[in-house]
Structure 1
Amino acid sequence: MPAGLVISAPASGVGKTTLTLALARAWRNRGLNVQCFKSGPDYIDPAFHAAATGRASVNVDSWAMDRGTIAHLVGRGTDADVVLAEGSMGLFDGVAARGVSGTGATADIAEMLGWPVLLVIDPSGQAQTAAAIAAGLRDYRAGVRLAGVVLNRVASQRHEDLVRRALNDAGIAVFGALPRHAEISLPKRHLGLVQAEEQAEIDKLIDEAARFVAEHVDLDEVLRSAASWSPQPAANGMNVTPPGQRIALARDAAFSFIYPHMLEAWRAAGAEISIFSPLADEAPDASADVCWLPGGYPELHAGKIAANARFRGGLRAFADTRPVHGECGGYMVLGTALTDADGIRHEMTGLLGLETSFAKRRMHLGYRLAALAAPMPGHQVGARLRGHEFHYSTIVAQPDTPLAVVHDATGAVIAETGSRRGQATGTFFHLIAEDR
């Protein structure tokens, strides 16, 4: 029977991902099968999970998904020995208004699955106060159970002793304390971690993190703190209609932000996926019946994309007769032009009139609920789509027919409506699920 555990923290940037990867690899090195999940809308961390465990990881999201979908997705952990769900932001951080089955908080998943929470606490700049924070998180919500704490970035043995004593006095187990160790820091950029597939040394980094954590954390005690978990059969699977029978999917360093569960759902529904690389100047497969451009980092490769005539011409020819859809970065590439952070304007494919700029960055972040005013691949007019938007681009022009009426998680209408022109459509949000 698998043992389930949620890895969370009081805030972002404390070390959840590093600890998750280290525990997963350390237990895998001991011969255990480890399954990871990511709570919340993050399309980067699952690839790191897969690198650490050798098993595909997917997102579970209480704002966008119902309980049946979450049960279906976590069911893949049935044959594992250990199941780890890595949280996002702080343990109770979600949106103000409830979504399908919760607010998107990691605590929703912990309570729903009955898994205890392993807290990562960074006591930098404090000592006994760290225990007060941990105790507050333990007592904040009755249905969420705390397994214990791992301290990260402790400054000295004296510092560790002060924090440990306070946590012990509060009745909170301390499974270990990690000194500062730069060698296991994961590199970052403006949308989060540098992607796993871009890091040639990722396997060595995870191995070093596993060695370091095994040296400082009682892995046996952590494992004993996890809850025995008997997955409940899901009444239904993913409610996802593939955008086509044969999908040409852009996939490279500029186009990689797509949720793994979406690709799995497309394949499970019988769709075939044909990969092509715009950065390698490849055009979409001529035998495909739809083309999909995910988000990613087109702003870091805008000059190359603009110069790749075979890709641009092939995509335009494809769109003459078949649907093309772009999400976020893919949407920007379907537009007329993209201005990079240096203020250089690059021509894009021109399938849509959208023009965006990174010269003056502005963060757009949050859940999105879109009611389609026009069809897009896989979804008809009136469909209600749930997704998440995260980018730093500014809209210079968005002249085409709006694709949807889009609301944020509070119900407020937002300006990023998406666009439609001919066979081309695009959205700034990344699709997570469709309302049933």
Structure 2
Amino acid sequence: MTPPGLIISAPASGTGKTTLMLGLLGAFRDAGLTVQPFKSGPDYIDPAFHRAASGRISVNLDSWAMGADRIAGHIGAAADADLVLAEGSMGLFDGVALRGEAGTGASADLSALTGWPVVLVLDVSGQAQSAAAVAHGFAAFRPDVEVAGVVLNRVASPRHEALVRAGMETAGIRVFGALPRRATIEMPERHLGLVQAEETPELDRIIAEAGAFVAAHVDLEALRTAANAGTLPAVPPLRVTPPGQRVALARDAAFSFVYPHLLDGWRAAGAEILPFSPLADESPDDGADCCWLPGGYPELHGPILAAATRFRQGLRRFSETRPVHGECGGYMAMGEAIVDRDGARHQMAGLLGLVTSFEKRKMHLGYRLAELDTAIPGFGPGAHLRGHEFHYSTILDQPDMALARVVDANGDAVPETGSRRGLATGTFFHLIAEAT
């Protein structure tokens, strides 16, 4: 049976969703509850913070890349929990123009699909009763999405809180709590979002303080009562195709962007995962039958990777007889070189001719649908894969053959097609699920 759940969302990014989410996870955990976190949409960083706060692996649920049956299978991770909390992405109704597998990727689609009510986080700085008009508009915008109420954030004073609450009462919007400004629980950011959980030295202190802060200012019992068991029953997870029987997986601060649902799916299909650290100058296990280099931040570790001769030479030897695939940062590390933000060029593994530059930054962001021209580990030519692209690196040279035909969520062709050479393949595209 699926436990009752809520979706923590907001009108826009930057309003305090993650702070409230971590605070709620910490507060409920301190109260003795088992809370299963989820993350709406493609995001690697927030789920790691969820895990630190809840003690449970946070799973991504994506209505554009996943069908309802796949989402239902992932919800099975909550079977033994007391409560589900799913953090939304961007604004509640923000998604792409055209539907994917089960929706547009908007958090509202996830709410409509699961039946989990929404708790709206409102940044009320610079307004008072007018915040109620925003909340009322969100509550009325889609009849299939229930807004259970709001949590007010960045409240300036008791008088400010009273004025905002008066507006909410007039609009018939329930207020679950009001959070004053608290700079000590704000987390550092970098170009892809928050600094990773394992790189945040004060994370335990932040989570503990956020939990106590939220417990003091939010009605936790009222929130728990507002949660709904939903309409989407948990089912056994759909099978995920592993890239091989024994998978050498790069895993460290430079290569950490791989979805938990994929790793769990690989293991459930019988695959053995053999982690290694390029930053520690380790090479892939010679007993593996394929190698997977996830995304991450290789551009921040250029000198270390350039000096990691055992890693680079071992990867080249491995690729002579077995497939190697890289996603985004892993793809960059498989290339000839990375140019960092200061213009310094760092030698990479050279499995592909790709040269990328972080000096000439340009954001590449969006869902991707790829049709493979050639095989990658786990998928043959012609396979259709759904995923996303998010990076700031610019391609300076890409001499190898294209890996796939790639389009965005509108069906428009994307120039970043990935590349292939011998048994080496790579792409800026992050896999989420095989298209149905």
TM-score tier, shorter chain, comes to over 0.9
Q: Which residue is 1:243 aligned to?
A: 243
Q: Distance in 2 between matches of 1:15 and 1:429?
A: 28
Kindly indicate whether residue 326 of structure 2 is the aligned counterpart of residue 326 of structure 1.
Answer: yes
Amino acid corresponding to residue 369 of structure 1 in structure 2: L
| Cα distance between partner residues in 2 of 1:296 and 1:327 | 9
Aligned to 2:33: 32
The equivalent residue for 2:258 is: 258
- In structure 1, the residue matched to 2:18 is 17
Aligned mates of 1:112, 1:47 — CA distance in 2:
25
CA contact (8 A) 2:115 2:231 kept: no
Aligned-pair identity in percent equals 66
Q: Which residue of 2 aligns with 1:269?
A: 269
Contact kept, 8 Å, 1:306 with 1:348, in 2: the verdict is yes
CA distance in 2, matches of 1:37, 1:77: 9
Aligned Cα root-mean-square deviation (Å): 1.0
Contact 1:239-1:433 within 8 A present in 2 as well: no
1:189 is matched with: 190
Aligned AA for 2:248? A
Q: Which residue of 2 aligns with 1:141?
A: 142
Report the equivalent of 1:60.
61
Report the AA paired with residue 99 of structure 1. Answer: G
Give the ranges of 4+ consecutive aligned residues of structure 1 lying more than 3 Å apart after TM superposition: 228-231
**Partner-residue secondary structure (3-state), 2:12:** coil
Write the letter of the residue equivalent to 2:343. G
SS in 2 for 1:227: coil
d(CA) in 2 for partners of 1:174, 1:419? 52
Shift of the alpha carbon at 1:229?
4.3
Moved more, 74-83 or 237-246: 237-246
Separation of aligned partners in 1, 2:385 and 2:287 = 28
**Residue equivalent to 2:219:** 218
Q: State how many pairs are aligned.
A: 435
Structure 2 counterpart of 1:168: 169
Summarize deviations over 1:51-92 as a string: whole Å, max 9, x none.
Answer: 111111110000000000000001111211110011000000
Q: Which residue of 1 aligns with 2:363?
A: 363
Contact 2:63 2:106 in 1 (8 A): yes
How far the C-alpha of 1:228 sits from its partner, in A, is 3.2
Whether 2:62 is the aligned partner of 1:42: answer: no
Secondary structure at the counterpart of residue 366 of structure 1: strand
CA contact (8 A) 1:252 1:279 kept: yes
Distance 1:254 1:10, change over 3 A: same
- Local SS of the residue matching 1:376: coil
Amino acid at match of 2:414: I
- Distance, in Å, in 2 between the alignment partners of 1:158 and 1:204 is 30
Instruction: Measure the CA separation in 1 of the matches of 2:234 and 2:254.
Output: 38
Quote the Cα distance in structure 2 between the aligned partners of 1:397 and 1:168.
59
| Cα deviations by residue, 1:26-73 (Å, 9 ceiling, x for unpaired) | 111111110000000001111111111111111000000000000000
Q: For residues 379-390 of structure 1, what are the structure 2 equivalents within 5 Å?
A: 379-390=379-390
Deviations 1:303-337 (A, max 9, x none): 11011101101100111110000000000000011
Counterpart of 2:270 in 1: which secondary structure?
Answer: coil
| Counterparts in 2 of 1:100 and 1:47: CA distance versus 1, 3 Å | same
Distance across 1 between alignment mates of 2:230 and 2:140: 23
Tell me how far apart the structure 2 counterparts of residues 251 and 238 of structure 1 sit (CA, whole Å).
25
Partner residue, 1:338? 338
Distance 1:228 1:57 in 2: 18
Instruction: Say whether the 8 Å CA contact 1:78–1:231 is kept in structure 2.
Output: no
Q: Distance in 1 between matches of 2:425 and 2:241?
A: 17
Aligned mates of 2:278, 2:68 — CA distance in 1: 37
The one-letter amino acid paired with 1:17 is: T
Aligned equivalents of 1:79 and 1:5: distance in 2? 16
* Cα pair distance change 1:316/1:101, threshold 3 Å: same
- Counterpart residue type for residue 377 of structure 1: P
Residues 364-405 of structure 1: CA deviation (Å, up to 9, x unaligned): 000000000111110000000000100000010111110000
TM-score (norm 2): 0.98
The Cα shift of 1:191 comes to 0.3
CA drift of 1:411 comes to 0.4
